[in-house]
Amino acid sequence: MDAIAAQDIPYWNEAMAAKYTGNKRPYDQSDFSKFLWKYDGIIDAPAMFFLEEWIAANPDAKVILNKRSFDSWYRSVSNTGFRLTAWPWWPYIRPFQSGHLYAWYQYACTWLNLMGQQGYATKPQHERWTRENYRKTYDEHYPRVRALVPADRILEFELGKDGWNELCAFLDKDVPDQPFPHMNEAKGMVEQRLALIWQDAMKNFLKVMSTTGIAAAVFAFGWMRWRGQLVALARGITPPG
């Protein structure tokens, strides 16, 4: 969930909107190069939605296709993306939220909706994020990649089984003298992300106090307190009804 740099998110949002709404010219290689020029590769969502464009523009590129069981993948997405976007306080902290964090929220909702067979939408459509819909996306992904990429330029990498030897042989790199990393990035990630979002909202709230005046700050504080959000967010509990 954190593989995308904050400064790149508005571009990805624009690229997804252009491709899936038809309201703008679809992104081509020159558009992607504006923000991806500094990277050697792209991974994960939403890059997966632009595979055709990237293969056409980079015919010699090598592709690593991670093989992971559906249950493991869906559980991971459920425990991270679903939980983050289902956080009920998003609308209430919106007035005090930095633009890049709200852009991230729209970005996450968009690709989660696309994976859920919902189509383009920037707000969560949780009723569409079913196992059945995600299973369809999962089952479509592997044949799609294999059909687009020649066999000699694709490595089907099985998580938990393959390691440095398979990866480095495919990329023509030396095998590092260290164990292959196995990280559980999902552990604690949701709590850390929500803590950052809360801190950002509070920082901007304090700016309101210092720049707009006490009256406006008191009004804003009262509005949030009336909603029960400050106490609920600080304690991590559901506010009283």
DSSP 21-85: H-SSPPP-HHHHHHHHTT-S---HHHHGGGHHHHHHH-TT--EEEEE--HHHHHHHHIIIIIHHH
pLDDT value of position 198? 74
Tokens describing residue 179? 């164990």
C-beta of residue 16 within 8 angstroms of C-beta of residue 114:
yes
Q: Tens digits of per-residue pLDDT, 125-147?
A: 989 999 999 999 999 999 999 99
How far, CA to CA in Å, does 185 sit from each of 56, 69, 126? Answer: 32, 17, 23
Name the pTM for this structure. Answer: 0.77
Give the CB-side neighbour count of residue 177, counting CA atoms within 13 A. Answer: 0
Query: In the CATH scheme, what is the code of domain 6-184?
Result: 3.40.50.300
Q: What percent of the chain has pLDDT over 70?
A: 80
C-beta of residue 124 within 8 angstroms of C-beta of residue 85:
yes
Q: Tens digits of per-residue pLDDT, 32-43?
A: 999 988 888 888
pLDDT value of position 194? 74
Cα 223 to Cα 232: distance, rounded to the nearest angstrom: 14
Domain coordinates in residue numbering, the chain: 6-184
pLDDT value of position 21? 92
Angle at 209 between CA 224 and CA 240, to 5 degrees: 15
Closest CA to 190 of 60, 38, 86, 50: 86
C-beta of residue 117 within 8 angstroms of C-beta of residue 136:
yes
Q: Name the DSSP class of 213.
A: -
Cα 175 to Cα 168: distance, rounded to the nearest angstrom: 6
SS3 per residue for 73-136? HHHHHHHHHHHHHCCCCHHHHHHHCCHHHHHHHHHHHHHHHHHCCCCCCCCCCHHHCCHHHHHH
pLDDT at residue 11 tops 50: yes
pLDDT value of position 167? 94
* Mean of all residue pLDDT scores within the chain: 82
